[in-house]
């Protein structure tokens, strides 16, 4: 990986993290939050993959630790609550069936 590839890779990873963060904050239902969490997690993994690839070492351990912290924050602060829009969303899904 060249220095230019490293620059472009880090820019790509930063854009993915910003997109994931915006999706996460604007999510209204549990499904939206799950998708936003997926985008954010992939951005984090790509960040460490690109950084470690340029330096010739694996930083997957640090990426895994970051994902574990993200999952813990999710389960402790966000995942346990159910929004009113979730109930409406489930009711709509049931009506469609």
Partner 1 sequence: MNESRLPWWLVLLLGVWIAALSVWGSPRAAREVRWGAGLLSLVYLALIFLALGGDPRALPTLSAAVPRGVMAAVSAICAGIALLAGVCLLGQPTWRGRLMGFLIFTVANGLNCFAIGVASVGGTLLVASLVLAMVLVRELGRDDWPSVSGWLRELIPVSSRTATEATNTEIHLPSTTRAGLAGATGIVLALLLVGTLRNVMRLETSRAVASHRFSALPSAERVRATWKSEVTGQSTVGPFELLFDQRADVIVLLTVMAFLALARHNATRSHDGTTP
66 binds partner 1 (CB under 8 A): yes
Q: How far is the CB of 79 from partner 1 (least distance, A)?
A: 10
68 binds partner 1 (CB under 8 A): no
Can you read off the two tokens belonging to residue 30? 């549990």
Q: How far is the CB of 75 from partner 1 (least distance, A)?
A: 10
Can you read off the two tokens belonging to residue 18? 């910003």
- CA distances (Å), 33 to each of 45, 75, 78, 94, in order? 18, 12, 9, 20
Can you read off the two tokens belonging to residue 45? 């993994």
94 binds partner 1 (CB under 8 A): no
Terminal Cα distance for the chain, rounded: 50
Rounded distance, CA 22 to CA 89, Å?
21
38 binds partner 1 (CB under 8 A): yes
- The contact set with partner 1 (CB under 8 A) reads 1, 3-5, 7-9, 11-12, 15-19, 21-26, 28, 31-33, 35, 38-40, 42, 44-47, 49-51, 53, 55, 58, 60-62, 65-66, 69-70, 73-74, 76-78, 81, 83-85, 88, 96-97
């Amino acid at each position: 990986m060249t220095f230019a590839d490293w620059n472009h890779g880090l820019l790509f990873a930063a854009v993915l993290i910003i997109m994931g963060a915006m999706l996460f904050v604007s999510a209204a239902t549990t499904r939206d939050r799950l998708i936003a969490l997926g985008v954010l997690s992939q951005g984090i993994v790509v960040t460490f993959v690109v950084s470690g690839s340029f330096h010739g070492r694996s930083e997957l351990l640090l990426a895994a630790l970051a994902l574990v912290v993200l999952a813990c924050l999710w389960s402790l602060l966000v995942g346990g609550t159910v929004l009113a829009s979730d109930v409406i969303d489930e009711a709509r899904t049931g009506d469609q069936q």
